[in-house]
Structure 1
């Protein structure tokens, strides 16, 4: 997904004011980047047999403990990176009739640029980087994505993808993984929900994590174990928060 991040709005928008039950129609010519994204996502949907699974995760303790520039998405990236190193099949892909896995967890972070483009800069080596370093990288690439200053090396070497719906997004959703990866994780918006703690039902901050995986490379047994590991790391965040 390292296409040029051109955000130029075409000047050839066409408005049709003819009478219609649908009102005025506006036709927009997409940018080269939008066309490339549409083509690649359509190719993934058409050629990759995927399955999805979701777990709900109590992140109350984690969100209270976050400090500095670190945000929930950084903690999820850190937990996913740790889990990918422990579940190598999820950190891989189907390539040329073979299952290829990698020793380093490089997570592509989806960045929505003004609703006009999706950039996928890489959080390199997320399995070993401390949370503060991941937060700093996320801030840097997000800013440069909005400035149109990302370059091809910024999005190189991805082994997995993380798509953050944002605090105002859907509670849960499934995402389309980028070409070349075998799985991606969608992070739903955190919500206050009733949760069982011990023998009591109490309000907690909960997020839904949805894994989309290529069934050729990642089976439900692999993906399920990975999701449970990510959930465990987030619910007991000591390892995620460790320097």
Structure 2
């Protein structure tokens, strides 16, 4: 018997609203299936399941506000027929409902319609609507003659679905909390390095020349791939610092900082970024950016990053000093490519120059290793054909 719980979708997340179940009680599920949608400060997030089996019992109704770690459903494995004991206990959840007008009565929707409502004065249309929408007439104040419940009274009592989308104020609060924690708990150090990227640009121009726009690779994909490849040789920058110790990761899951339309920022991960070809990486980046801009992404994309890349070049920023997102220990920032004078063989010539920055955790690494990492990224970008 497995228990499907409310996942933690960020270092500062305490609870979330279960907006929608995408699987029903009795449905068979497999590892990686999307089973529910949860609303957090970051928006509506699709929640995957990480075991095979069958949904034995759904424990939390849609619209409920649930603390991280609380049981949402029980999962039966192959051959299991045991009925969940968790269902015998009450799970405290806070249902989020729209504010009612001041004069409106309290609306009760948590119990099924009573079989005997003969004492309730209501029109036939009101009774039919209440039955179809599982609304208890006993909790509604009627506006008809002698207080009889009319159809409009029941329609007004129907709970509105939870608001979908992104609460920007809440997101700003969540970002501020996470960054405050990062500044308070992580001893940051910063290194910057400027490099000539003319070789990478020339290679990319030639690569894209014979391809249609959907097949072309953007320079940002080269930055992510170069960083992901380089960090494999410097594992102290790739992993998580939790409960007083650092655990390096054998995989490189690159978080990509993405601005959400209207405001806000998230950094969902591209899994095994170092193993993808540039074309595969570009496809995944386009998909991820598109879904994030629509406010739709998955739980695993928010929780699996082992390092983060933040590129603000397309915003016209020459350099960035990023803040580490806990429990990660490193973030690499890239600025705008700018034509600048550069000395080559005793001559001053114009060259496209890129500034990159490493913010790292001094509990795990030092400036010597950080400098080597930045130089390794520069070497990867200087040989783009090998990415």
Shorter-chain TM-score: which interval? 0.7 to 0.9
Whole-Å Cα distance in 1 between the matches of residues 386 and 343 of structure 2? Answer: 23
Corresponding position of 1:206: 353
Within the candidate set 308, 316, 319, 1:161 is matched to 308
Displacement after TM superposition at 1:30 (Å): 5.1
Q: Could you tell me whether the CA contact under 8 Å between 2:226 and 2:381 is conserved in 1?
A: yes
Displacement after TM superposition at 1:197 (Å): 2.5
Displacement after TM superposition at 1:83 (Å): 0.6
User: TM-score, normalising length from structure 2?
Assistant: 0.54
Matched, 1:171 2:325: no
Within the candidate set 246, 269, 272, 1:99 is matched to 246
Q: Could you tell me whether the CA contact under 8 Å between 1:93 and 1:181 is conserved in 2?
A: yes
Matched, 1:56 2:194: yes
Matched, 1:152 2:189: no
Whole-Å Cα distance in 2 between the matches of residues 232 and 40 of structure 1? Answer: 33
Q: Could you tell me whether the CA contact under 8 Å between 1:57 and 1:235 is conserved in 2?
A: no
Displacement after TM superposition at 1:203 (Å): 1.1
Deviation per CA, 1:108-159: give whole Å up to 9, x if none: 0000112511021112111121111111111101010111111212223111
Displacement after TM superposition at 1:4 (Å): 4.3
User: TM-score, normalising length from structure 1?
Assistant: 0.84
Within the candidate set 162, 166, 181, 1:43 is matched to 181
Deviation per CA, 1:41-60: give whole Å up to 9, x if none: 11101111000001111111
Corresponding position of 1:130: 277
Higher relative contact order (CA closer than 8 Å, sequence separation 6+): 1
Q: Could you tell me whether the CA contact under 8 Å between 1:58 and 1:234 is conserved in 2?
A: no
The change in CA–CA distance for 1:205 and 1:88 in structure 2 (over 3 A counts) is same
Matched, 1:6 2:43: yes
Deviation per CA, 1:72-109: give whole Å up to 9, x if none: 21101100111111111111343222221111111100
Deviation per CA, 1:181-214: give whole Å up to 9, x if none: 1000111011001122233221111110000001
Aligned to 1:150, the other structure's residue is in SS state: strand
Whole-Å Cα distance in 1 between the matches of residues 238 and 271 of structure 2? Answer: 13
Corresponding position of 1:197: 344
Corresponding position of 2:366: 219
Whole-Å Cα distance in 1 between the matches of residues 41 and 202 of structure 2? Answer: 38
Q: Could you tell me whether the CA contact under 8 Å between 1:92 and 1:217 is conserved in 2?
A: no
Displacement after TM superposition at 1:236 (Å): 2.5
Whole-Å Cα distance in 2 between the matches of residues 4 and 151 of structure 1? Answer: 14
Matched, 1:235 2:382: yes
Corresponding position of 1:117: 264
Within the candidate set 141, 148, 153, 2:288 is matched to 141
Q: Could you tell me whether the CA contact under 8 Å between 2:340 and 2:352 is conserved in 1?
A: yes
Q: Compare CA radii of gyration and give the structure with the larger one.
A: 2
Corresponding position of 2:332: 185
Aligned to 2:323, the other structure's residue is in SS state: coil
Displacement after TM superposition at 1:166 (Å): 2.7
Q: Could you tell me whether the CA contact under 8 Å between 1:57 and 1:234 is conserved in 2?
A: no
Aligned to 2:42, the other structure's residue is in SS state: coil
Kindly report the root-mean-square deviation, in angstroms, between the aligned alpha carbons of the 2 structures.
1.8
The count of corresponding residues between Structure 1 and Structure 2 is 219
Corresponding position of 1:16: none
Whole-Å Cα distance in 2 between the matches of residues 5 and 198 of structure 1? Answer: 50
Whole-Å Cα distance in 2 between the matches of residues 181 and 103 of structure 1? Answer: 14
